[in-house]
Amino acid sequence: MPGRHFAKPDLQSIYMSPPCQYPVCTTVLWYTRTMVKNEAIERIAELLDSSDTETANTSMRLPRALRDAAALAVEELGAAPTATTLTAVALRGMLEALLMQAALDQHYGQHPQARPSLGDLTVAAAELDGHPLAGQSELLYQSAAEIVRTHPGANADDVLLWAEARATASA
């Protein structure tokens, strides 16, 4: 976003900091990695906000089938003016989503209490979707607690589906 500030960590001073006194201490390594990741987040944000329209040839290799599918989508479906545009738009979308999640994760690292629970995310997803169960937060929190016992990797949409099935079964 042009005109917005992104905190810039001072990597030079981090690299030059004296090593930890304890033989098995990994604090400096952890700190350095964290700061490098933070620096990457800042740089990605700057690059995505750049108004520079200069293009560059890349040596990126795409699977041939994917390239041909993109060409067909452009020619026959009007997905974008060119396959290059289609690729760039898709890449930008994914990078922006990754940046958002990285920024959130960075924030949760500094403020663990800010991290939403699966129940919180389910309520939010239901509200954003206008789901019929959006007003039944108790059911959604309960469903989240239930599903996570057997499916630790469940997401908000999984919980919503489970809650809907429960509501239907009990109707």
Partner 1 sequence: MSTLILFDNEAVQALGDPNHPKHRRVLSHVEVVAQRRRRAVPVTLAVPTTVRVEAGWDGMDRRWALANHLRITDEPLGPAQANVAAGIRSRTGVSVTDAHLGAVIRATSVTNITVLTSDTKDVRAVAGARAVKVIAV
- List of residues contacting partner 1 (CB under 8 A): 1, 3-7, 41, 45, 48, 90, 93-94, 96-104, 106-107, 110-111, 113-116, 120-121, 123-125, 127-128, 130, 155-156
Q: Output the smallest distance, CB 31 to partner 1, in A.
A: 18
Q: Output the smallest distance, CB 128 to partner 1, in A.
A: 6
Nearer to partner 1, 45 or 163 (CB): 45
Nearer to partner 1, 64 or 111 (CB): 111
Q: Output the smallest distance, CB 170 to partner 1, in A.
A: 26
| 126 in Cβ contact with 144 (< 8 Å) | no
Nearer to partner 1, 111 or 149 (CB): 111
14-49: burial string, b at 16+ Cβ within 10 Å, e else: eeeeeeeeeeeeeeeeeeeeebeebbebbebbeeee
